[in-house]
Chain A
Amino acid sequence: MNLAMQNIDLLMPEFIMAGGGLALLMLGVFLGDSAQRIVSNLAILVMLATIGCIAIHSSDGSLSVFSGAFQVDDFGRFVKVLSLLSAALVLVISQNYIEQKGMGRFEFPVLVIFAVLGMMLMISASNFLTLYMGLELQSLSLYVLASFNRDNLRSTEAGLKYFVLGALSSGMLLYGISLIYGFAGSTGFAEVAAATEGGLSLGLVFGLVFLIAGLAFKISAVPFHMWTPDVYEGAPTPITAFFAGAPKVAALALFVRTMISAFPGASEEWVQIIVFVAILSMVLGAVAAIGQNNIKRLMAYSSIGHMGFALVGLAAGTEAGIQGVLIYLAIYVATTIGVFVCILAMRRGGEMVENISDLAGLARSRPGFAFALAMLMFSLAGIPPVAGFFAKFYVFLAAIEAGLYPLAVIGVLASVVGAYYYLRIVKIIYFDEPAPALEPKMEARLAVVLCLSLAFTLGFIAVASPLVVSAEAAAYSLFP
């Protein structure tokens, strides 16, 4: 057997996703668009099967395939399960929406599957080629998903903007990768790490800067965030929910692995950049969201801010920091999906409404819904004892342990400023004069996902220990 093919069975989760995607594509083509619901449900099953496959192999330790191009370890498994869960939940909540909007086509779940497959490749990438190929597979699917409602001007505009800016960022990323390849002599992370052990040459610094610029673009960190509000507002709401979850998680995991595995000897250089990007993201996420009236735009700025907070953990660069990033991502995904369920449930007279003012006085007409949304907002703001507080707690603790006091102080201040706009929504829900009531009924699927998200957010203290332990193991696996 060829040397490159050793350990090929480690790719089993990816094989299930790829095979599942192709099979569902065939099924959809033969059954036509009427099969959209079947394909969507089967896609959820494929994702659950993949999670099961990852869970079975959870005690395998760290191994690599294709001469180190694809790394399977606890870190990868943790983030993959998180991305898969997030994507599966999005498929659950998107079903009725896309049917009502007349975009019920079977390609939707198929594209989601391929996007998640791209994410899984990104998460396991330990070679710049794998990194780039995974990123392109994911991005290309996301561009199409953003403009999936092709008869809607704003959706197509969102897709086009995302595509043009995404192509630009891919260009920067490739420029950086080619410089790194030229100066380090290899595209493998381990080889690059060996070449950069004693510090970076000038060419490698340029490469690193371009690489970080490209990656920051994918997680929409400031100053590469401009596309986010427009794309989030224009894309169909379930797809915005998808954008806010899995791709962010995968791109941040890719960011973490690239920095920790490929440039361990150059941490002085990249920590400076990450600190800068993190501070800008936290501050802009907190300040720019204040003036927003559209709740999807608000969530876009919120996600920019949250990526800044998560980067604080990466800036620490320690095991505790990476553990903080992973816990942050898990809590962020769980909370965000709940908020997007609430946005999907904002309907009046059969039409979707997206303005924050439409929520006014919601507590009187829909006390349960209002309570759920308020708790999720508390979590996003980071108010104890809900989950969001612990997310911020772990990353800031790691930053303080690593001696990054100014970063931690600015982060806490930014989260106080950010709390203003989250609490403003709570105030609007509970204390403002009621707007015309929203439709009273919520679909069962939405209600189930909302309850799950709410239970996780409120009961985080109870479920914290397995999450914290597995995040610790995942972070540990990243450091040799």
Chain B
Amino acid sequence: MIADIAFYLFSGVMLLCALMVIGARNPVHSVLFLIAAFFNAAALFLLLGAEFLAMILLVVYVGAVAVLFLFVVMMLDIDFAALRRGFMTYLPVGALVGLLLLSELALAMGAWISVGSAGGVRAQPTPDGVTNTEALGRILYTDYVFFFQIAGLVLLVAMIGAIVLTLRHRPGVRRQSISAQVNRDPAKAIENLDVKPGEGVS
């Protein structure tokens, strides 16, 4: 009963937040609503017993992606009103494509035949006596280690790409040198002068 109430509460708030993401006029508010939606989705994962996914959702999406969005929105001067100006003109075409995809999905779902054993697998997301973080880790680093490693390479290439395309070495840039700062001592940093009244330091 309480689980049901919690489910409807979280999913209701999540849908509202999702609606506000595209409805809010101020882009910063949109991103904040997005973060709220992520939190509710994480709560839904918790209700399902998938605590690892819930935490990952918070760490990755809220911690990294949403904050990145926020930076983009605040730092780049994008005129969102201008971006939305063509909305009504393109609405019919967009609606048509959306309708097509929806009908395809409906057709595909209509053809769904559930295998009898599928329910049994779904009812038990993790093996007995193992937390689902551990269960995920066990298959990720054994059966799926190959894909895990390729994913690592994909991320490496993404990193190389970002550096190749954006890093520029400018001459004459003053950089902080921590070792030089730490190695300074009072003898080098302070000079005692005997200043006579009314003369000042030349």
A contact residues vs B (CB 8 Å cutoff):
2, 4, 18, 25, 65-67, 69-70, 105, 107, 110-111, 114, 117, 121, 129-130, 133-134, 136-137, 140-141, 143-144, 147-148, 150, 159, 179, 182-183, 185, 201-203, 206
Complex-state Cα separation, A140 to B104, whole angstroms: 30
Task: Give the residue name and chain of the A residue nearest to B104 (CB).
Answer: A206
Chain A interface mostly: helix
Contacts of A148 in B (CB 8 A): 164
Pairwise interchain contact A140-B113, C-beta atoms closer than 8 A:
no
Complex-state Cα separation, A67 to B147, whole angstroms: 12
Pairwise interchain contact A111-B160, C-beta atoms closer than 8 A:
yes
B94 CB to nearest chain A CB (Å): 15
Which of A2, A105, A202, A206 is the one whose CB lies under 8 Å from B164? A105
Instruction: Indicate with 1 or 0, residue by residue over B150-161, a CB within 8 angstroms of chain A CB atoms.
Output: 110110111011
Pairwise interchain contact A202-B111, C-beta atoms closer than 8 A:
yes
Task: Give the residue name and chain of the B residue nearest to A151 (CB).
Answer: B168
A28 CB to nearest chain B CB (Å): 10
B contact residues vs A (CB 8 Å cutoff):
104, 107-108, 110-113, 115, 142-143, 145-147, 150-151, 153-154, 156-158, 160-161, 163-165
Task: Give the residue name and chain of the A residue nearest to B112 (CB).
Answer: A203
Pairwise interchain contact B107-A202, C-beta atoms closer than 8 A:
yes
Complex-state Cα separation, A65 to B165, whole angstroms: 36
Closest 3 CB pairs of A and B: A144-B161, A202-B111, A133-B150
Pairwise interchain contact B108-A144, C-beta atoms closer than 8 A:
no
Contacts of A144 in B (CB 8 A): 157, 160-161, 164-165
Pairwise interchain contact B154-A147, C-beta atoms closer than 8 A:
no
Check A114/B150 contact, CB under 8 A, given A2-B142, A4-B143, A201-B111: no
Complex-state Cα separation, A148 to B166, whole angstroms: 10
Task: Give the residue name and chain of the B residue nearest to A25 (CB).
Answer: B160
Question: Could you jot down 8 A-B contacts, CB within 8 Å?
Answer: A2-B142, A4-B146, A18-B153, A130-B147, A150-B165, A182-B112, A202-B108, A206-B107
Pairwise interchain contact B165-A70, C-beta atoms closer than 8 A:
no
Complex-state Cα separation, A105 to B169, whole angstroms: 13
Complex-state Cα separation, A206 to B111, whole angstroms: 11
Pairwise interchain contact A4-B142, C-beta atoms closer than 8 A:
yes
Complex-state Cα separation, A203 to B105, whole angstroms: 9
Pairwise interchain contact A143-B143, C-beta atoms closer than 8 A:
no
Complex-state Cα separation, A144 to B162, whole angstroms: 8
Complex-state Cα separation, A111 to B156, whole angstroms: 10
A16 CB to nearest chain B CB (Å): 14
